[in-house]
Structure 1
């Protein structure tokens, strides 16, 4: 046997694999870009690459639509030989595109005003998953015996009801520090952008509208826990459980960790002094950081719940003022407690908490003294320290963004507004300085929870731009947002499950993933850490080969691996901090959208147009059969009505069908895509299970459009796409959006789509039954058939002799007699 030859071949194959992996890449925001926003992609190359320009192409037509110069950046920061920023902000047309830079092509992406739609509500999935007490994700309850008071001068050992709130991360500790901040962040997001939030869940987190925006339901869950943790004036608790919790993977409703207190967990009293039940103590110096967090959350809660629950609002108003007085009585920080190890949240600044509390109380009460106090405390900490220092220990400077500055910048007092806008600008100037020539324009420190720094910085940049009108940091703001959604060295979103069908953390450090084999939907993971931090941590063991190995040679590392608790653990407060950012981006897009009352299904497909309009939309689809085509065309012509037709590529290229296609085009009907080969995209039983890859999907759909173009159908005039079998999932809808397309489907409850069934099928429906069902639907629905999409097949199998298209005359008469206007898409 020729071992030398085998060795050479193995080496050759290995080197070939390395070359295959280490190719230049273009990183993008996977959600897409708002048309008028700053839009940048980043090219990274492991080898020296000279790029002068890049081009933007329409994904469907292949037409070049934009060209610009490439901006060279410092590739060495991320262990690369070449890096370029590809700025296409000047291009503002909506659609689906890709970037070509030299021989490197980006993934397809969407430009449109709807790219952030639903994202603010999406992150609430993780907040509900983290609930303590009744957990709607598990449909079960946990920690119902919390808790037993510890470290109280007279009441240690007493039982107190503090069940509720959220678990902090993948452990089940609960901290006032992070929970109060998360509550405030959600309340603030709603205060600033109420129109961004929907109502699909009940107060207990289970599905079903209750007339209250879901974000307020979630914030109330936090507020009610805070009320339990602050049962009386000057009596506050800071924490439930401690690091004895860290006992391996388990679901919260199966938590068996014992603290020697029976079924209860310890509840730490706020003492204002160094705390810890064992040999390890924190470095607490006062109560202000904790008391002020209570005050700000209660103050904003009282303001927003005044109309919803006046009694609750009144209680919180008094609690806010009492907490403020308590904070003034003992200035200093109160840190989280540890026992097993000397690790805790090392919060060292309380001035920002005092500023936010006073500013929130001013908004609530209108008392000038509170605004004066807010200005006083705000001036003491002009810039959040981590922004100026470019470093921080774990939660040393918390919260990561000072919303007190933003509240004061919104003041009607011009002097106050100018003062705090200038301070916000000062902090952002530090970030811009530290970003330097980083390809991703990221001027944040890669400490533990770096994504929280990113979210905080993006929030400040966005608030500053909105309040001042100054766009000095607009590119910085966009870069921070893009980083979280895939424009980073690893090309992954940092939010589990977003976007569906994209690259995102699938294996976060979480018991949900280990035991239930699911990602923690909506959760923001900790994010990349400096290599030095990663290599110094104990207990990290990657469980799978690193899919991002080629991109781990820069200043920070990230792993989508259950074993990496430093970069891939989702956190509750980090997730909540996305509420304002995403709701603000969503509202920005809405301002430029036609916000008619359209209806989308749970997968994101458009299933009903404007429900206030008397228009109805007849759509016809075909792949194999065309027995009804001529009759349908004649009937529509007779009634002088327009409709929409969705055909597969196979149907378009079949010469027997092209006479009909030409007639439909001449008569002014909409002609769209139905896939090229009529592929089944998703499993019938498990809908979220894909049966095609993104590459196969895009190739097939683009082929469908190319065949349409050959017959004179302009792809730009066919933005609606009907999925084959009318079966798809959220990933398919998102992939379609990245091509500039909107998936459309029939209106739920209208069963005309059953016209394909044959008598031997269990679900067979006769044409008479189908028509009567449609009439009943029209009669029973409050909006009737307003905006309804009615699907009819162009032809059916020969076994069905009762063809529904023979009833098209009757259907059109019924619609027009009822005052509806049949229309095309």
Structure 2
């Protein structure tokens, strides 16, 4: 049997011991790029530091700065900056009287493995087919699941069944939700747009489910194929909000989840997100599969025209369902839909729709955004578009706000002791937002190149992989003392100690309350929207 996920442990990446959590030298445990910033945060009194190579020789020395006190972590910290040292190799940071860091590398390709693992995690999330993968000497497997998706009882066709198989499981549960698929695919398509040349170098080694497509798009098509199935079949343009059972399953493997799953009633937010996804899919699949690109765009037009005729917000009512709600107003979703339709087709009515909606939102760029606030995706698409018909004032307003937003993120990261671009804001899934802020920064850098934007995006990656209060990685299987007990039904049901690899967990609700416990879904769940943000963040730094 062919094993599609073959990941070899790279030197220290997956072998850091839990004892490292108590260390006082916190840094990105994956390592550093030669020409960009390299810093560590030290939580004990110190005045100097030494960089030690693998032979034990001191190759660089420096003075620390500090102390700097931050209330939310209740710590005085000192900082070590060794950015000027650029020689590739394997090192550790020793701080006299304090201790030492984990070993790390300086190399041009230091983030390639983690980028690969974080993207391959989507393959491991696939619903409707058997999945196999090897990671760090462990074999992971799930049987084909949810092959009866789904029933149409809740869209006035009681007892009838229609094909809703495929897609990705949404999070730690096995549901499938269009609104969360929206922001996830939106960010992933944007990663392809921004970093295609880099991404194409990474071999994901996934099944040939879409021959002829690059691996990255092959994986996105698995989800896009499912989203297409969520459009009502009678041609109205309505899109079901989700496909789930009425309540969450126990911690069982997905093929053991035999309870009926249903297409739900439509919502306007899900329908608008469907439009945006399909317009993007048409654009990015066009060079490889013109027939599929047309299918996506035709479906987008049907739902877009439906939204133009049905302007009221249609909320999804949970009713019998206790699975994820993903309730959201549709103003931002409609704006995003208009932007992607215009960018794909050049249609002037779509352009007018977007520009009117952007003006109503005062051209705002969100610092803190996710599935419930996707207007940034539309604003970014418009700002970076090469089409000539844009209103000059609208374009300038949006670009100015993108730059101002990025400058604010640079400032926040600059005053946070752990260089966190989100600053002192914490909530369910905030690690995903930290990763997603790299989109803001990379888009700003495309408009106005500035090293601070790239290095602040790198600060987000540093934070995720160890430069944080806990001196721990937030990504399963990668970096220093990674999460061992994510809220993930596969990891809890497969009788393997190590969790499924490559997934970012949500994080704390304050600077110091994150817990690595399976039952704590609000702190330690995994989810496709956070994962997409991690993939984007990592793909910006592969080589």
Class of the TM-score when normalised by the shorter of the 2 chains: 0.7 to 0.9
Secondary structure of residue in 2 paired with 1:55: strand
Supply the distance in 2 between the matched residues of 1:333 and 1:110 (Cα, whole angstroms).
52
* Residue 242 of structure 2 corresponds to residue 239 of structure 1: yes
Supply the distance in 2 between the matched residues of 1:144 and 1:101 (Cα, whole angstroms).
56
* Residue 261 of structure 2 corresponds to residue 265 of structure 1: yes
* Residue 226 of structure 2 corresponds to residue 225 of structure 1: yes
Supply the distance in 1 between the matched residues of 2:339 and 2:191 (Cα, whole angstroms).
16
- 1:57 maps to which residue? 52
Checking the alignment, whether the CA contact within 8 Å between 2:461 and 2:538 is kept in structure 1 is: no
CA displacement, residues 39-67 of structure 1 (integer Å, 9 cap, x when unaligned): 2211124xxx2x34433333434223242
Say if 1:139 and 1:477 are closer, same or farther in 2 by CA, change over 3 A. Answer: closer
- 2:318 maps to which residue? 337
CA displacement, residues 271-295 of structure 1 (integer Å, 9 cap, x when unaligned): x4xxxxxxxxxxxxxx1x2222111
Checking the alignment, whether the CA contact within 8 Å between 1:180 and 1:226 is kept in structure 2 is: no
Residue 114 of structure 1, CA deviation: 0.8
Checking the alignment, whether the CA contact within 8 Å between 2:421 and 2:437 is kept in structure 1 is: no
* Residue 130 of structure 2 corresponds to residue 135 of structure 1: yes
* Residue 246 of structure 2 corresponds to residue 250 of structure 1: no
Supply the distance in 1 between the matched residues of 2:487 and 2:21 (Cα, whole angstroms).
27
Residue 21 of structure 1, CA deviation: 9.8
Secondary structure of residue in 1 paired with 2:242: strand
* Residue 37 of structure 2 corresponds to residue 27 of structure 1: no
Alignment partner of 1:94 out of 76, 88, 92:
88
Secondary structure of residue in 1 paired with 2:50: strand
Checking the alignment, whether the CA contact within 8 Å between 2:514 and 2:523 is kept in structure 1 is: yes
Checking the alignment, whether the CA contact within 8 Å between 2:142 and 2:255 is kept in structure 1 is: no
- 2:504 maps to which residue? 524
Secondary structure of residue in 2 paired with 1:574: helix
Say if 1:365 and 1:462 are closer, same or farther in 2 by CA, change over 3 A. Answer: same
- 2:532 maps to which residue? 576
Supply the distance in 2 between the matched residues of 1:355 and 1:498 (Cα, whole angstroms).
37
Say if 1:214 and 1:332 are closer, same or farther in 2 by CA, change over 3 A. Answer: same
Supply the distance in 2 between the matched residues of 1:576 and 1:441 (Cα, whole angstroms).
21
Q: How many residues align?
A: 501
- 1:557 maps to which residue? 513
* Residue 78 of structure 2 corresponds to residue 79 of structure 1: no
- 1:427 maps to which residue? 405
Residue 97 of structure 1, CA deviation: 2.4
Q: Which runs of 4+ in 1 moved over 6 A?
A: 20-23
Gaps of 5+ in 2: 1-18, 133-140
Q: How does 1:95-114 map to 2 (within 5 A)?
A: 95-104=89-98, 105-114=100-109
Gaps of 5+ in 1: 1-19, 258-263, 273-286, 531-554, 591-825
- 1:797 maps to which residue? none
Secondary structure of residue in 1 paired with 2:60: strand
Supply the distance in 2 between the matched residues of 1:162 and 1:228 (Cα, whole angstroms).
6
CA displacement, residues 734-767 of structure 1 (integer Å, 9 cap, x when unaligned): xxxxxxxxxxxxxxxxxxxxxxxxxxxxxxxxxx
Secondary structure of residue in 1 paired with 2:144: strand
* Residue 207 of structure 2 corresponds to residue 202 of structure 1: yes
Secondary structure of residue in 1 paired with 2:431: helix
Checking the alignment, whether the CA contact within 8 Å between 1:147 and 1:161 is kept in structure 2 is: yes
- 1:283 maps to which residue? none
Residue 385 of structure 1, CA deviation: 5.1
Q: Which moved more, 1:30-39 or 1:374-383?
A: 374-383
* Residue 333 of structure 2 corresponds to residue 353 of structure 1: yes
- 1:327 maps to which residue? 307
Supply the distance in 1 between the matched residues of 2:408 and 2:312 (Cα, whole angstroms).
28
Checking the alignment, whether the CA contact within 8 Å between 2:62 and 2:81 is kept in structure 1 is: no
TM-score of the pair, normalised by structure 1: 0.56
Please give the root-mean-square deviation of Cα atoms over the aligned residues, in Å.
Answer: 2.9
Supply the distance in 2 between the matched residues of 1:447 and 1:189 (Cα, whole angstroms).
25
- 1:183 maps to which residue? 185
Supply the distance in 2 between the matched residues of 1:251 and 1:23 (Cα, whole angstroms).
34
Checking the alignment, whether the CA contact within 8 Å between 2:487 and 2:521 is kept in structure 1 is: yes
- 1:7 maps to which residue? none
Say if 1:121 and 1:71 are closer, same or farther in 2 by CA, change over 3 A. Answer: same
Supply the distance in 2 between the matched residues of 1:474 and 1:452 (Cα, whole angstroms).
18
Residue 436 of structure 1, CA deviation: 7.1
- 2:484 maps to which residue? 506
Say if 1:416 and 1:111 are closer, same or farther in 2 by CA, change over 3 A. Answer: farther
CA displacement, residues 448-476 of structure 1 (integer Å, 9 cap, x when unaligned): 01111111112211221233113444443
CA displacement, residues 488-541 of structure 1 (integer Å, 9 cap, x when unaligned): 111222121224xx42122222232222214121212112222xxxxxxxxxxx
Larger Rg: 1
- 1:312 maps to which residue? 292
- 1:406 maps to which residue? 380
Secondary structure of residue in 1 paired with 2:29: coil
- 2:523 maps to which residue? 567
CA displacement, residues 196-237 of structure 1 (integer Å, 9 cap, x when unaligned): 2325222349xxxx5432221111111111111113342321
- 1:544 maps to which residue? none
Supply the distance in 2 between the matched residues of 1:367 and 1:39 (Cα, whole angstroms).
46
- 2:62 maps to which residue? 67
Checking the alignment, whether the CA contact within 8 Å between 2:127 and 2:167 is kept in structure 1 is: yes
* Residue 174 of structure 2 corresponds to residue 172 of structure 1: yes
Secondary structure of residue in 1 paired with 2:247: helix
Say if 1:188 and 1:314 are closer, same or farther in 2 by CA, change over 3 A. Answer: same
Q: How does 1:378-397 map to 2 (within 5 A)?
A: 378-381=358-361, 382-383=363-364, 387=368, 397=372
Supply the distance in 2 between the matched residues of 1:35 and 1:435 (Cα, whole angstroms).
21
Checking the alignment, whether the CA contact within 8 Å between 2:179 and 2:371 is kept in structure 1 is: no
- 1:441 maps to which residue? 419
Alignment partner of 2:272 out of 288, 292, 304:
292
Secondary structure of residue in 2 paired with 1:524: coil
Residue 331 of structure 1, CA deviation: 4.4
